[in-house]
Amino acid sequence: MEQTKHKKNIISANCRFTLFIRCLICGAIAFSIGLTGCSSREARPIQPVPITAALAVIQSEPLALNFVGTVEPIESVAVKAQVGGVITHVNFSEGQEVRADQLLFQIDARPFQVSLDAATAQLARDKAQAANAEIQAGRYADLVKKDYVTQEQYDAARTQAEMFKSVVQADEAAVEQAKLNLAYASITAPISGRTGSLLVKKGNVVKANDAVLVVINQMRPIRVSFAIPGDQLPLVRKYSARAKLEVHVKSSRNGNSGEVKGVLTFFDNTVDTSTGTVILKAEFANEGGVLWPGQFVDTELVLTVEPAVLTVPAGAVVTGQEGTFVFVIGADKKAQKRLVKVNRTLDSTVVIDEGLRAGEMVVTDGQMRLIPGAVVEIKSSLQEKGNTL
């Protein structure tokens, strides 16, 4: 029995050993297959990175300063009545464009016409009396020479004539005042512009020089006011001494309404001590009525136009920990990182001072997938002012 058990133990041990050997062989085979797979993957060629690119070009670009401005009317008038009465007519609509001297309101003119008629009648009566007194004084002048009347009587006649002459002058002034009041009953626009909200209605009673009836803002031409830092004032004055400076504004902050051009017309005479800024104003023809009083606009003050500066699309310039840089594509289609010195940014264009040469190709999109030395594939190119890759 013991021999039989011993033989069974030997057989069991042999089986376990055989199973162990088989496992080692299988593991070795699997490991070798894995190494072969990894080797094949490592040997697979690196795919180029798709990018878009553009050339660095030399072209003319404006040297400009950018600010936020406020549109304001050159003239703004709060229209008031100069005589009191009942408004019988309103001859315009709210928000309507009106011309200078256009009739806006009509106040009941009948009381003023009556006053004018009365003043005219008074003038006629006093003129007749003055004429009679003048004739009387002339008679007394002849009689006093012949001693038919005394000097005292002549002086009294002469005084009476002068008094009536003064009365006539006062009557003439009263007639002119009555005519003026009658004219004031017709309220006209003092300037051309756009009317605001109508603050009184037909049938309202107004008083002289009391409530505002409507506000008119001049729309054409119009001004844009903006503040510049005081330390930039010498630079602006330097270029403005040579020629009138152009000012460009965008009629909406998102730039969807296009650009309007004007000229700089005003420098304030002091620097604001609380903000350190100086107020400048530019005038615009505003023929299309794009600019609106009270509107905020992006304002660009163009100092000069530099004839030859190196430019790249704004999308090519990246800011990193080391500073601003671009990826330059060489003849071998590999990307190289290049630090550059940026002068200024103009909308979609960046002016470069150092680090790049004209004609070099720069990556404009796809930089996030690039590392120095990466192979690239130019999928599309940018067209910048007629230069197409």
Question: For the purposes of burial, counting CB atoms within 10 Å of the CB of 80, is it exposed (0-12), middle (13-18) or buried (19 or more)?
Answer: middle
Alpha-carbon gap, residue 306 to 289, rounded angstroms: 31
| 316 and 374 belong to one structural domain | yes
Among 261, 277, 307, give the residue marking a domain's end. 307
Q: What is the CATH number of the domain that holds 369?
A: 2.40.420.20
| 93 and 212 belong to one structural domain | yes
Query: Tokens 């004055």 sit at which residue?
Result: 237
Alpha-carbon gap, residue 67 to 188, rounded angstroms: 39
Residues 305-317 have pLDDT tens digits of 999 999 999 999 9
Domains of the chain: total: 4
**Mean pLDDT for the stretch of residues 260-281:** 95
| 209 and 92 belong to one structural domain | yes
Alpha-carbon gap, residue 138 to 147, rounded angstroms: 15
| 39 and 169 belong to one structural domain | no
| 224 and 294 belong to one structural domain | yes
Among 216, 251, 271, give the residue marking a domain's end. 216
Query: Tokens 């067209």 sit at which residue?
Result: 383
Alpha-carbon gap, residue 239 to 63, rounded angstroms: 11
| 83 and 212 belong to one structural domain | yes
Residues 141-194 have pLDDT tens digits of 888 888 888 888 888 888 999 999 999 999 999 999 999 999 999 999 999 999
* C-alpha dist (Å) from residue 208 to 77, 105, 140, 167, 294: 16, 14, 49, 28, 30
Q: How confident is the model at residue 2 (pLDDT cuts 50, 70, 90)?
A: very low
Instruction: Name 350's Cβ contacts closer than 8 Å, sequence gap at least 6.
Output: 311, 312, 313, 314, 316, 317, 342, 344
| 96 and 196 belong to one structural domain | yes
Note down the domain range covering 16.
1-44
Alpha-carbon gap, residue 349 to 54, rounded angstroms: 12
Among 280, 307, 334, give the residue marking a domain's end. 307
- 23-39 burial: b if 16+ Cβ within 10 Å, else e: eeeeeeeeeeeeeeeee
